[in-house]
Structure 1
Amino acid sequence: MGPIRKLLLPAAAAAAALVILLSLGFWQLDRLAWKESLIAKVEEAVSAPAVEAPGPAEWGSLEEEDDYRHVRVTGSFLEDAVFYYTALADPAGPIGGPGVMVYAPFRTSDGWVVLVNRGFFRRPSPKTNAAPPHCRPRAGWNSPDCCASAKNPTGRHLSQT
């Protein structure tokens, strides 16, 4: 086996690795362009004035450009139907600690129901051992119970409904 033949396999492997790494780099650049476009779209949509929310008859015709659009509805939140989902189980980011995302069904004055993201609420410090002021019993299935999580700072308690 000559010296050139000994280098053929490593050279082929290096060329294949170079092709793979270059394609991953270009994929990352494409992903960056997509992400910057998405951020610009979201910033534009959330700064636009709110419009009347489309009713259920219009939901099938909603397009991608309708994403992140601010809408306006009138009605009331359904009592005892709040859902809590653990978010940021470990302290990270600008929030600085664990908490829950809160979702609540909202019945419009037209009679249809929409699920509203009420936002992120930090879990109280284990030292305070107090439930957040927004906490109240909720109907649901296998969702973390915010009130119980406040008493159990591990956040592992699932409410029994």
Structure 2
Amino acid sequence: MTRGPIRLDVAVGYAVPRKGLPAAVSFRKWVAAALAGRIREADLAIRLVGAREGRALNRHYRGRDYATNVLSFPADLPEGLPPGIRMPLLGDLVLCAPVVAREAQEQNKPLADHFAHLTVHGTLHLLGWDHANAREAEAMEQLEREILAGLGIADPYTLPD
């Protein structure tokens, strides 16, 4: 586990109208919370998309023909970088705004809290966390709860009354 501040560059792009969506500074805060103590420096991009683009990306990269809430694309550079070039590229996150909004409403959660949860969740995927089996899912969910609690956000796996 690393200590101290991290150098973080988060580029946030909106491919949908920004009205009602969290500001880029919020996404940066949520990514920083997910990375705190785990990595020293990172560059990543977050893109907020509509249902059509979300569905196309999910179909192309995961073979699933529907828009999902978050997609994580780790920066896997097996060929490496040229000598002398250091790039702390972590990867990209794609958040499908209408899916996130629908889920937040269905689960009676504040929209910003749901975006925070999915940003933390996606960032942990970029770090290599997964939920392919029950044990991994439990560990990842517990880490998400801890990170979100540090941000003052309720347990995302407990539905409010």
Could you say which TM-score interval applies, normalised by the shorter chain?
under 0.3
Q: Which has the larger radius of gyration?
A: 1
Q: TM-score, structure 2 length as denominator?
A: 0.21
Specify which structure has the bigger relative contact order, considering alpha-carbon pairs within 8 angstroms and separated by 6 or more residues: 2
